[in-house]
Structure 1
């Protein structure tokens, strides 16, 4: 039976119009070779595809919209799950059930009228499921931990093509692996997750000319040193083509505007900023803070976890201009990230996350700058799974014992390697 006859959703093959667009990842710098693309109509369609793949010896890789692609897709069927987009909110229980294709912004919009929030990252268009499968660093992670820590259950299709409901009680090992170990074990069709109270939110970006960078960094360190878990601050060194360098502090506070202004008062003692977007906001407006692009583009990223932001670290950070990078972002972690977590990542004890990004116009120069800057800073040697780039593997995110456990779970639940995630555990 052909793919067209197997599923009710749309199928693209190499000879059909639109194939190249359908197979393209979000990051256009990543080449993603596949044998076919299937956009499933629903969870039943997913099951039908998996049974077909099992019967014909095919391999399936799953992406809602292509974020986090690594290019390790040769010889696979690319499964798109963006049409699995249902959202059910139970405001009394503080729970949501969402389809695998639901983007973060849509969940936030559904939760906001109830005074609730999920755990969104900086972009509203990234799928909640994709982030949760990689652990997930959220604006509110200091208050509530990894995104994966809020997942209560998974609806999956396993390697036999059988739909299953997976919880900590029903399948403890598989549940553990799915909460941050990636999508190499099953196709997730829906999530059940805890929502968190968010009756008040204050946030925004303050932007200064680059000449004020040392003073801004010192103030950022002062605020981070005493920040309550409800307060998150990120530092951004920015240098866009054709513009002078700039520096920004991005922030959110789960609480009243008055308390937020008090906590962030040191920012007001700095020189007059170029702009200040801080305000009372709804939880579905978080994407406006960093205003990340909502259209696909080509870029190169590199991430690390920093063990400190000492004077020596700051000196290394500022030793030379960040160009040809567009941005150097430092996210304050701590808080609930340091607490016990039943996930492959476990507690996140490093106090800061570093994210380096550049355009792909001159890849060699961007990669060299990223490598040199990372080598000059105090890094822990592990990375957040969702920040892995195509040149890295799961061994860059987890220690050997965790990788071994993930591989054992993979062998148990998918012995024929029918599934291949963006970052396979066997590589």
Structure 2
């Protein structure tokens, strides 16, 4: 492994080096990530040099910009950090951004906002755009514009031969299809080109109540989402943070003006007075403030499901018992462009809602209680059994995200493009 220091110009950490444990950690600190070495590539040439060396030396490479989505399936690998691949170029005329593999979503939003444009951000501004796109990607604006992956026009990659290539639907349709949501098993993405969308107006924010109002809040949420246009996205949250009373929230974004947004969200106005209401006209660069997710690593246990219905029975079941020991139970309204044809491994999402369950494993007993509560929710609610790739947890596999036909196609492409399994993604398609 010491030879790595003469192979790349970027930083190399080996076991025993100062900073090695921090360099190898996953974003989710509940995940142990054993690796043989960590390489922070200086640029795409560094990535290519690493791949060529790994082929010769019989090494395996696991690629992560900053550790989001880490599953611990890294034993014996060289962990490649692409944080320094941070170039970002906006072409406002073409409505397109060239985004380095290490660029976080918040940076793209800040740059695009200067031109009245937006990318397809999720709830967190610190997740890399490349990582989200490789997993398909659920965005605040997915109801209007589909999967994040649907909006990728090109990938710049290093393949298993160590060659730098630009992959499009025209140059290599099969590999392009696999990269648009099939994960990082097929090549190392060093940059991508993403279509941007007009966003001259954005209205959004969070409304928060005490948990006693959850039934009426959920009823209003169901009425809003039943007729919501594609420009409106609304999430429902049951929250119970340590040291505080349980709460319920509605998060919303609307790609349009305030008057139209408030009319669409009018059912919320008839509810009891909230604890807080942060809704306002905002720049697209401030989307991360709505849910205020942590921007530093921390431990967590998550589980996601796709709901096939949110009828009266489902609503009653969802609210039947306190969510503890979970911190949050979130419903994300899907539909809209998600239901339309998608030339990606995921294909269209026909389920109308995504359910996301999250807790913190403060100790082994709490960890077990969290997973038990998550399982109880999943077993009691009408779930399809399919899951968004970027919502998979470390105990799940790629088979949970794809149909058997799509998974088989991904495995064939893995064998074709990486026959020696040089690349090991967070969720390998062959596992």
TM-score, normalised to structure 1, is 1.00
Q: Which residue of 2 aligns with 1:307?
A: 308
* Structure 2: segments with no counterpart, 5+ residues: none
- Name the CA distance, whole Å, in 1 between partners of 2:45 and 2:361: 39
- Name the CA distance, whole Å, in 2 between partners of 1:399 and 1:337: 16
- Name the CA distance, whole Å, in 1 between partners of 2:256 and 2:107: 22
- Name the CA distance, whole Å, in 1 between partners of 2:181 and 2:14: 32
Q: Which residue of 2 aligns with 1:415?
A: 419
User: Could you give the per-residue CA deviations for residues 388-422 of structure 1, whole angstroms, max 9, x where no partner exists?
Assistant: 00000000001111110000000000000000000
User: Could you give the per-residue CA deviations for residues 371-403 of structure 1, whole angstroms, max 9, x where no partner exists?
Assistant: 011110000110000000000000000111111
* Structure 1: segments with no counterpart, 5+ residues: none
Q: Which residue of 1 aligns with 2:82?
A: 81
Q: Which residue of 2 aligns with 1:135?
A: 136
* SS of residue paired to 1:20: helix
- Name the CA distance, whole Å, in 2 between partners of 1:70 and 1:15: 23
User: Are 2:383 and 1:379 equivalent residues in the alignment?
Assistant: yes
- Name the CA distance, whole Å, in 1 between partners of 2:52 and 2:105: 30
Q: Which residue of 2 aligns with 1:10?
A: 11
* SS of residue paired to 2:290: helix
- Name the CA distance, whole Å, in 2 between partners of 1:278 and 1:193: 28
User: Could you give the per-residue CA deviations for residues 254-283 of structure 1, whole angstroms, max 9, x where no partner exists?
Assistant: 001110011111111100000000000000
User: Could you give the per-residue CA deviations for residues 35-82 of structure 1, whole angstroms, max 9, x where no partner exists?
Assistant: 000000000000000001001000000000000011100010000001
* SS of residue paired to 1:46: helix
1:367 to 354, 368, 371: 371
1:401 to 400, 405, 418: 405
> Cα offset for 1:243?
1.0
- Name the CA distance, whole Å, in 2 between partners of 1:277 and 1:93: 34
User: Could you give the per-residue CA deviations for residues 332-362 of structure 1, whole angstroms, max 9, x where no partner exists?
Assistant: 0000000000100001000000000000111
- Name the CA distance, whole Å, in 1 between partners of 2:71 and 2:17: 24
* Structural mapping, 1:28-67, within 5 Å: 28-67=29-68
Moved over 2 A (4+): none
Q: Which residue of 2 aligns with 1:176?
A: 177
- Name the CA distance, whole Å, in 2 between partners of 1:367 and 1:382: 18
RMSD between aligned residues: 0.6
User: Are 2:395 and 1:391 equivalent residues in the alignment?
Assistant: yes
* SS of residue paired to 1:404: helix
* Structural mapping, 1:126-165, within 5 Å: 126-165=127-166
Q: Which residue of 1 aligns with 2:27?
A: 26
* SS of residue paired to 1:267: helix
Q: Which residue of 2 aligns with 1:238?
A: 239
Q: Which residue of 2 aligns with 1:199?
A: 200
> Cα offset for 1:145?
0.2
* SS of residue paired to 1:232: strand
- Name the CA distance, whole Å, in 2 between partners of 1:218 and 1:316: 13
- Name the CA distance, whole Å, in 1 between partners of 2:307 and 2:39: 40
- Name the CA distance, whole Å, in 2 between partners of 1:168 and 1:218: 43
- Name the CA distance, whole Å, in 2 between partners of 1:158 and 1:191: 15
> Cα offset for 1:318?
1.3
TM-score, normalised to structure 2, is 0.99
- Name the CA distance, whole Å, in 2 between partners of 1:268 and 1:37: 52
- Name the CA distance, whole Å, in 2 between partners of 1:70 and 1:378: 27
Q: Which residue of 2 aligns with 1:210?
A: 211
Number of positions where the alignment pairs a residue of Structure 1 with one of Structure 2 = 427
- Name the CA distance, whole Å, in 1 between partners of 2:263 and 2:315: 26
> Cα offset for 1:316?
1.1
- Name the CA distance, whole Å, in 1 between partners of 2:168 and 2:97: 15
- Name the CA distance, whole Å, in 2 between partners of 1:139 and 1:32: 30
> Cα offset for 1:314?
1.0
* SS of residue paired to 1:37: strand
* Structural mapping, 1:213-232, within 5 Å: 213-232=214-233
* SS of residue paired to 2:38: strand
